[in-house]
Amino acid sequence: MTNPIADPFVEGPDVSPTAGQVRIEATARGVATVVMDRPARRNAWDPEMIAALAEAFRTLAGAEGVRVVFIRGAGGHFASGGDVEWMRRSQSQAEDELREDLVAFAHMLKAWHQLPQLTVALVEGVCVGGAAGLTAASDIAIATADATFAFPEARLGIVPGAIAPFIVRAVGPRRARSLFATGRTFDAAYAERIGLIDEVAADAAALAGAAERIASEIMACAPDAVDQAKRLVDHVYGREIDDRLLADCARRNAAGRLSEEGRAGVAAFLERRAPPWAQAD
């Protein structure tokens, strides 16, 4: 299988690289990787990079044939949070202007969370503040054993507002309060234990292997069913399990079974053959 981490952009699904601080790599098989590409600044975020990420996610949301989207940082680090120069500029911004930048950041995270494809964060090195929020907004997050995480905002006299919805969902309110209030740095093993990430990889090579495994797994799943399954989780999360919710879930199940994908998948199962969306390595 083609390595989704290392491959350059090659002819494949209809996606295009974004200019400057973010690029998209894609393979003909349907594996796309968004690369945050400011290695000299440990991929720190500023409004330009946030806009580039949002553009990349919009591109991928409508990219036919893309089945899984990875995100990683260039140069051995995921991302080191807000760029120092942006923080310096923000000191002289009007409140409305700064709020506009932060709303754009929050919507970028939401766009990643709502991609129809499976989304996977591949974390190495530092993963601080907003970058950890992006990790929490992913469907799957895997980190190397030496990766470090932190929410240092309280140490700067601010609060991690834009990322809070995703962090609280991932780790729960008690862990979120603890991490937000102390600003302490923690390792990948602890991040896995509290649910911020799903798996720890020994090193970069193991991280690449995990990405290959996930890409292979997703090729066995129907693209529309993956999208609908993700939507279903958001629909039921936090709701009372009452008759209305049960009826709605049954309706979604029935609609899926009678969809083009559902009919094709069940037929393939009964006939003991691969469904049309499954691709051999």
* 21 backbone dihedrals φ, ψ, rounded to 5°: -80, -10
Model pLDDT, residue 10: 33
Please write the tens of the pLDDT for every residue from 131-153.
999 999 999 999 999 999 999 99
Whole-angstrom distance, CA of residue 162 vs CA of residue 187:
22
Same domain, 174 and 75: yes
Model pLDDT, residue 279: 58
Please write the tens of the pLDDT for every residue from 151-175.
999 999 999 989 999 999 999 999 9
In a domain, 103, yes or no: yes
Residue 142: which of 73, 69, 207 has the closest Cα?
A: 207
Same domain, 54 and 107: yes
Reported residue count of the chain is: 281
Determine whether 229 is exposed, middle or buried from the number of CB atoms within 10 Å of its CB (0-12, 13-18, 19+). middle
Same domain, 203 and 235: no
Query: In Å, what is the CA distance from 239 to each residue of 98, 164, 218, 233?
Result: 34, 20, 28, 11
CATH of the domain at 188: 3.90.226.10
Same domain, 75 and 132: yes
Number of domains in the chain: 2
Q: 128 pairs with which residues across the strands?
A: 150
Per the listing, tokens 């919805």 go with: 165
Q: What is the mean pLDDT of each run of 10 residues along the chain (281 residues)?
A: 34 47 92 96 92 96 94 96 84 82 93 97 96 97 98 92 94 96 97 98 97 95 94 93 95 93 92 85 49
Written as six digits, the tokens of 278 are: 């499954």
Model pLDDT, residue 14: 41
Same domain, 76 and 193: yes
Q: 118 pairs with which residues across the strands?
A: 68
SS3 content of the chain, % helix, strand, coil (to 5): 50, 15, 35
The whole domain housing 228 covers 223-270
The DSSP output letter for 82 is: B
Model pLDDT, residue 12: 42
Same domain, 190 and 135: yes
The count of other CB atoms within 10 Å of the CB of residue 174 is 10
Residue 59: which of 13, 100, 5, 27 has the closest Cα?
A: 13
